[in-house]
A and B are shown apart, each in its own frame.
Chain A
Amino acid sequence: MAKLRRTMLYVPGNNAGMVKDAHIYRSDSVMFDLEDSVSIDEKDSARFLVYKALTTLDYGEIETVVRINSIESGFGKEDIKAMVRAKPNVIRLPKTEKAEDIYEVESLIEKEEKNEGYSIGTIKLMAAIESPLGVLNALSIATSSKRLIGIAIGAEDYVTCLKTSRSEDGIELLFARSQLVNAARAAGIYALDTVYSDLSNEEGFIKEIKLIKQLGFDGKSVINPRQIEPVHRIFTPTEDEITFAKKVIEGIKTAKSNKSGVIAVEGKMVDKPIVERAERILELAKSSGVLEAGKESEND
């Protein structure tokens, strides 16, 4: 079944209560942050807290991600040493600008994996792209390592670099978002959107989720548990979409048995891309729990 990464909940790494309860809100992933949400004086304490939580608590099937500090910050190497040992599913690298940033982190992770006796590649990587240079290098970043499971856009730093600010319709992010989705698809990895910081603007949040879904993103980082449900709802296929997808799969099965190529479903021509989309809808529906495995066909 396809791994869902619709929501990644930010958890400040030095907040004991949130680290303890991170998984109860049922986001697809939780991301323990050692970077921007932790002050310089508390970097060591947050690292200890996340380390002990990951080596002690059971987060169940929720994917665990740790955002480490950059290597240049002076904290990144110790973060990697501790976190490889703590074994989250994914380490997220902030402010990635070029493939070399990934190579450097990957070699440090590999060294620690060897020290711990893990098989090489156990710890996956995700790269956050937060600058114009990173956006322009998106494809080389996305294809830089077999460990990479996704790339994410960090909008706040990016728009500041662009000498603009975030707007309601997100026009300033259109190029970066499109570039990231294209790079991720070319590399066969996940594309994750940035946070929506205005918790009081529910309408704006819904609009943004619909926009990034339409652009092709797999999901979005969220900063508050109450942002999880709307993202999951919008990313879950509707009953109409599932019904249509089932008809497409059924139609194509019949066409194959009749040795016929193109078919029509509900008056629309169905060819290979439509079939692939239908398969993806059904896969997403199964992973989201709204379609039972084995019930992909109308007659099942």
Chain B
Amino acid sequence: MKIIKTGIAGTLESSDVMITVRSNSGKGIKINLQSTVKKQFGKQIIKVTNNLLKELSVEDALIQINDIGALDCTIEARLAAALYRGAEQSEYDWEKI
């Protein structure tokens, strides 16, 4: 999946996360995490993010995560929405999400 424009999904409400993905052509993945629970769950959030990026074959992207205590499944949902929006794709591979 190739990110060609900025994709944003999620909110800054409690139990949610806002994720912004931007193009980073040829420069790999860079993740910036801000989280109300970073000390306890920061590593897990990065792991969940990387797993989905791998599943969806995203190789280059700048990912900004603003987490307000979202569950892993919420992070995956918002990341998937931001990525598909950033890639301008509307054919969803539900098996990989």
Tell me the A residues contacting B by CB distance below 8 Å.
Answer: 15-17, 19-21, 44-45, 48-49, 51-53, 55-57, 78, 81-82, 85
Give the contacts of B80-97 with A (CB-CB under 8 A): 80-81, 84-85, 90, 92, 94-95, 97
Query: A44 to B77, Cβ gap below 8 A?
Result: no
> Is B57 an interface residue when CB atoms closer than 8 A count as contact?
no
Complex Cα distance A8/B42, Å? Answer: 36
Q: Identify whether the interface residues of A are mostly helix, strand, loop, or mixed.
A: helix
Q: A49-B74, A52-B74, A53-B73 are in contact. Are A82 and B94 (CB under 8 A)?
A: yes
| Chain B interfacial residues counted at CB < 8 A | 25
B residues in contact with A15, CB < 8 Å: 13
Query: B78 to A48, Cβ gap below 8 A?
Result: yes
Q: B73, B81, B95: which contacts A45 (Cβ < 8 A)? A: B81
Query: A16 to B94, Cβ gap below 8 A?
Result: no
Query: A44 to B78, Cβ gap below 8 A?
Result: no
Query: B94 to A85, Cβ gap below 8 A?
Result: yes
Q: A44-B84, A49-B78, A56-B73 are in contact. Are A16 and B10 (CB under 8 A)?
A: yes
Complex Cα distance A76/B16, Å? Answer: 25
Query: B74 to A16, Cβ gap below 8 A?
Result: yes
Give the contacts of B7-32 with A (CB-CB under 8 A): 9-11, 13-17
Complex Cα distance A85/B96, Å? Answer: 12
Query: B73 to A52, Cβ gap below 8 A?
Result: yes
Query: A45 to B77, Cβ gap below 8 A?
Result: yes
Query: B97 to A16, Cβ gap below 8 A?
Result: no
Query: A44 to B85, Cβ gap below 8 A?
Result: yes
> Is B55 an interface residue when CB atoms closer than 8 A count as contact?
no
Q: B11, B70, B97: which contacts A48 (Cβ < 8 A)? A: B97
Complex Cα distance A78/B89, Å? Answer: 13
Query: B15 to A52, Cβ gap below 8 A?
Result: no
Hey, what's the 0/1 contact readout for B31-69 against A, CB within 8 Å counting as 1? 000000000000000000000000000000000000000
Q: A20-B74, A53-B73, A56-B72 are in contact. Are A45 and B13 (CB under 8 A)?
A: no
Q: A19, A51, A53: which contacts B97 (Cβ < 8 A)? A: A51
